[in-house]
Structures are given as structure tokens and as C-alpha cells.
Chains A and B, each alone.
Chain A
């Protein structure tokens, strides 16, 4: 980093600090984190994910996601408890790093995101208007909550 850039960075920081409180407050709702109950995937995406799931995952995890002889279910109480309180980023990275178990990491980020959209639909999380991201950093902003949070007052 050269000196000029470093100065620019310093000025940016100052500008952020000088930002009036009112403006900060106005921005607050935008950074409020979302959960899987806020419609984080689309119906089309889940439809795209279904055949990929059937081809790549169903042999072990079952057609209905209820698990197989040695692979755990991807729906139901134990599955939801496993991820409750973590983020979609954790779940996505887990699939990227370890699944499909025979050849981990073989699928693209887009394919994994589509499969995950299908998994969310089977688990009855609500559909939304935007597709599920395929970037781990962005997925980490979406909380996985097993049950619907109480409505905000």
C-alpha cells in the first residue's frame, strides 16, 4: 500500500466516525441480520436444486431427505437442532467441504446453493423473491433458526 492510499483509508475512517448519529440510526435496519424465515430463496431455485439433489445426494440421504442406512436425514428434529443458531454459511461450507461424501467439492457453488434452496423448501422455510446466495460470506449473514422467531412488536 502506498502512502497516498493509506491517507485515503485514514480519511474514510474519519468520515465514518464523523457520520452523524441520526444517519447511523437510519441505516440500522438495513444491517439487521436475516434468518431462514425471511424468504431467502426462490421457488425457481428450489426447482433447479431438486434434480441435482436427486442425482447427487438422494442415494445416501433418501428421496424424501429422511436419511439412509448411514447418512443422516436433512430434515426433521435432529437436522434442525444440528444447525439451529448457526448460519446458512456454516451449512453451505459443510456441504462444500464434505459432500457429496464420495467426491467432496465436486459441485459448483451455484449447484450447492440450488440444492440448499431445495432443502430449505422441503423443510418448509418460506420462499422469497431473491435467490439464495452462493457466496459463503453472504450466507453467513443468514441465521439458521429451527423455529420461527416470535413476530417483532
Chain B
């Protein structure tokens, strides 16, 4: 349900939650994802400073490593920081604090995965949405001297 693009439900629209399974308690919970364009640019909210609302997501999986939780966004946004696209974000596993983000041309589908080849770590993510029909994108750090 929405009025002029504004969802009736209160944000956050999408979250990632870390749960301590021994105690059954939330360790942290964060809004995951850029505020949708229809909310950020909404006339009715002009002049208000809205913290990131996260996004209602559809089948977005996470990748958990020794220190990080990695998940991409499920919505396309266009912001001052990046062109039309979505971000793949990494959070500190212990605190939920965002520690990095890279640009994807389309939203994530499925879950990211990671692998090591000849000492080099890769992250692969499937993207699709809008003009992009399913594609895989692999990210890695440049080798020394590159």
C-alpha cells in the first residue's frame, strides 16, 4: 500500500538482523539498502532529513565470512554518490557497521558467494532487474602493481 509512492508502513523497509542463537537475542539490527528514490525524492518529504530507510527486498541472500556480512541491494536507486544502479555492501559481523560498498549496475538476486584462486579472493554476485537480465559479476582487489 502506498500514497504517491510513499509506503504506508513506517521504515525501515528492510533490515539485516544478527541474532545470538544461544540467548535468542538481537545483537544488532540495521536498515539495509539506500532509501528508495520515490521516498528520497518525494515532494511531501522535501526539506526533511531522512536516515537510510532500507528497502523492502525480494529474495536477497547474504554472504557471511569470518568478519563480514555481505549483501547487495534489491532496488535500483540513483543518488549523488552513484549513477543508476545498486550497491553491494559489507558490514562488520560483530557490530553491523558498514565497512565498504561497491557499485552494481543492477540489483542483486540470490546470494553472493566468494572463492579463492591463486591467493586472490573473489566475490561473485548475480544481478538482474530492469534492462539487465541475469548476469554474474565478479569483484576482486587489483593485484600489486596493477
A residues adjacent to B (C-beta < 8 A): 67, 70, 72-73, 76-78, 80-86, 90, 93-94, 97-98, 146-148, 150
Contacts and interface: CB of A to CB of B under 8 A. Distances in A.
B84 interface: yes
19 contacts: A70-B59, A72-B59, A76-B56, A77-B7, A77-B55, A78-B57, A78-B74, A78-B107, A80-B5, A81-B36, A81-B75, A82-B106, A82-B107, A82-B130, A84-B76, A85-B84, A90-B130, A146-B38, A147-B5
Interface string B1-30: 010110100000100000000000000000
B62 interface: no
Contacts of A90: 130-131
Given A94-B131, A146-B5, A147-B5, A81 B42 contact: no
B37 A81 contact: yes
Interface in B36-78: 36-38, 42-43, 55-59, 74-78
Contacts of A148: 4-5
Contacts, number: 65
A147 B42 contact: yes
A77 B13 CA distance: 11
B20 to A, nearest CB: 31
B128 interface: yes
A150 B44 CA distance: 11
Nearest to B56: A77
B4 A72 contact: no
B128 A77 contact: no
Interface of B: 2, 4-5, 7, 13, 36-38, 42-43, 55-59, 74-78, 84, 106-107, 109, 128-131, 133
Nearest to B2: A77
Contacts of B131: 86, 90, 93-94
Given A73-B58, A147-B5, A147-B42, A82 B76 contact: yes
A84 B38 contact: yes
Contacts of A147: 4-5, 38, 42
A71 B118 CA distance: 36
A81 B58 contact: no
The 10 closest A-B pairs by CB, nearest first: A147-B5, A82-B130, A98-B133, A81-B75, A82-B129, A81-B76, A146-B38, A147-B38, A82-B76, A78-B75
B64 to A, nearest CB: 22
Contacts of A82: 75-76, 106-107, 129-130
Contacts of A150: 43
Contacts of B5: 80, 146-148
Contacts of B37: 81, 84, 146
